[in-house]
Amino acid sequence: MDTINLVETFSEFKEFKNIDRETMMHIIEDIFHNMLIKKYGPDSNFDIIVNIDKGDLEIWHYREIVEDGEVEDESLQIAFSEAIKVEPDFEVGEEFSQQVKLMDFGRREILTIRQNLVSKILEYEKDNVYKKYKEKVGEIMTGEVYQVWKKEILVLDDEGIELILPKSEQIPSDYYRKGDTIRAVVSKVDMRNNAPVIILSRTSPVFLERLFEAEVPEVYDGLITIKKIVRVPGERAKIAVESYDDRIDPVGACVGMKGSRIHGIVRELKNENIDVINFTNNQSLYIQRSLSPAKITSIKLEEDSDRAEVYMKPDQVSLAIGKGGFNIKLAGKLTGYEIDVYRDTDTDTEDVDLQEFNDEIDQWIIDELKTIGCDTAKSVLELEVKELITRTDLEEETVLEVVRILKAEFE
Q: What is the CATH number of the domain that holds 61?
A: 3.30.1480
Query: 95 and 197 share a domain?
Result: no
Which of 106, 131, 156 marks a domain boundary? 131
Residues 73 and 125 in one domain: yes
**β-sheet bridge partners, residue 241:** 226, 278
Q: How far apart are CA 397 and CA 316, in angstroms?
A: 25
Q: Establish if 336 belongs to a structural domain.
A: no
Across the strands, what pairs with 144? 156, 181
pTM for this structure?
0.66
- CATH number, domain containing residue 155: 2.40.50.140
CA dist., res. 70 & res. 238, Å (int) = 87
Residue at a domain's end among 76, 96, 131: 131
310-to-48, 328, 345, 352 alpha-carbon distances in Å: 79, 11, 13, 20
Answer whether residue 70 is part of any domain: yes
Domain end residue (candidates: 85, 102, 131): 131
- C-alpha angle 229/139/146, rounded to 5°? 115
Q: How far apart, in whole angstroms, are the C-alpha atoms of residue 90 and residue 48? A: 23
Q: Which domain holds residue 79?
A: 11-131
| 140 and 127 in a common domain | no
| Residue 330 within a domain | no
Structural domains of the chain, count: 3
* Residue 6: per-residue pLDDT: 53
Same domain, 89 and 174: no
Give the Cα separation of 244 and 271 in Å (integer). 30
β-strand 224-232 against 236-243: which pairing, if any? antiparallel
Tally Cβ neighbours within 10 Å of residue 121: 20
**Domain annotation covers residue 386:** yes
Same domain, 144 and 73: no
What is the C-alpha to C-alpha distance for residues 198 and 205, in angstroms, rounded to an integer?
18
Query: What string of H, E and C letters represents the secondary structure of 186-242?
Result: EEEEEEECCEEEEEEECCCHHHHHHHHHHHCHHHHCCCEEEEEEEEECCCEEEEEEE
Q: For residues 288 and 328, give the distance between their C-alpha atoms in angstroms, rounded to a whole number.
A: 11
The CATH number covering residue 396 comes to 1.10.150
Residue 122 is predicted with a pLDDT of 79
Nearest to 3 by CA among 62, 38, 54, 44: 54
Cβ atoms of 10 and 121 within 8 Å: the answer is yes
Are 101 and 127 part of one and the same domain?
yes
Q: Does 152 fall in a domain?
A: yes
| Same domain assignment for residues 26 and 82 | yes
Rounded-to-integer distance, Cα 169 and Cα 155, Å: 13
Instruction: Show pLDDT as tens, one digit a residue, over the chain (411 residues).
Output: 444 445 455 454 545 455 666 777 777 778 787 777 777 777 778 877 776 555 567 788 888 888 888 888 777 888 888 888 888 888 888 888 877 776 667 677 777 777 777 777 778 888 889 999 999 999 999 999 999 999 999 999 998 899 999 999 999 999 999 999 999 999 999 988 888 999 999 999 999 999 999 999 999 999 999 999 999 999 999 999 999 888 999 999 999 998 999 999 999 999 999 999 999 999 999 999 999 888 888 898 887 788 899 988 877 888 888 888 899 999 999 999 999 888 775 544 567 788 878 778 888 998 888 888 888 888 888 888 888 888 888 899 999 999 988 888 776
| Claim to verify: residue 146 and residue 119 sit in the same structural domain | no
The reply to whether 289 falls in a domain is no
Contacts (Cβ under 8 Å, ≥6 apart) of 185: 138, 139, 140, 141, 200, 201, 202, 204, 206, 207, 210
Query: How many angstroms separate the CA atoms of 34 and 41, rounded?
Result: 10
Q: How far is CA 318 from the centre of its chain?
A: 35
Q: Which residues pair with 63 in a beta bridge?
A: 96
Q: Output the CA angle 305-309-315, nearest 5 degrees.
A: 160
**Residue 193 forms part of a structural domain:** yes
Residue 90 resides in a domain: yes
Q: For 111-120, which contacts have Cβ atoms below 8 Å and span 24 or more sequence positions?
A: 112/35, 113/6, 113/31, 113/32, 113/35, 114/6, 116/31, 116/34, 116/35, 117/6, 117/10, 117/27, 117/28, 117/31, 118/10, 118/13, 120/27, 120/30, 120/31
Same structural domain, 68 and 103:
yes
Specify whether 174 is located in the same domain as 142: yes
By C-alpha distance, which of 356, 390, 324 is closest to 399? 390
The answer to whether residues 118 and 73 belong to one domain is yes
If asked whether residues 101 and 140 sit together in one domain, one would say no
